[in-house]
Amino acid sequence: MNCLFCKIIDREIPATIHYEDENFLVFDDIAPKAPVHKLIIPKKHIHNINELAEEDLPLIAKVFTIAQNVAKQFGIDQSGYRLLNNCNADAGQTVFHLHFHLLGGQKLSDTLG
């Protein structure tokens, strides 16, 4: 598979990793849009949110706990943060491996664009 995030999971491509467990990895976005911009990815390759299966739902529910913990780790849990998923090209998805952006560390704009 020629997936950028799968290569990061397999340590073929370096990344600054902030959290890892048996199912997830959290690392810095290479083109940050905020002072804190982390990517939360499942280790299981799922193309995008449209490809989620029923058995993936408990896995994806954990994203929210991870987001809470990472936000606290980077001191943005009280000031606020955004958890964002892009699905397909028109929404801005550029890496087709399900992932969530955790953004914070400054007042974020009211627009999502």
Q: Which residues are catalytic?
A: 99
The type of residue at 9 is I
Contact 35, 105 (CB under 8 A): yes
Contact 37, 29 (CB under 8 A): yes
The string of DSSP codes covering 35-79 is SEEEEEEESS---SGGG--GGGHHHHHHHHHHHHHHHHHTT-TTT
DSSP 3-state of 91: helix
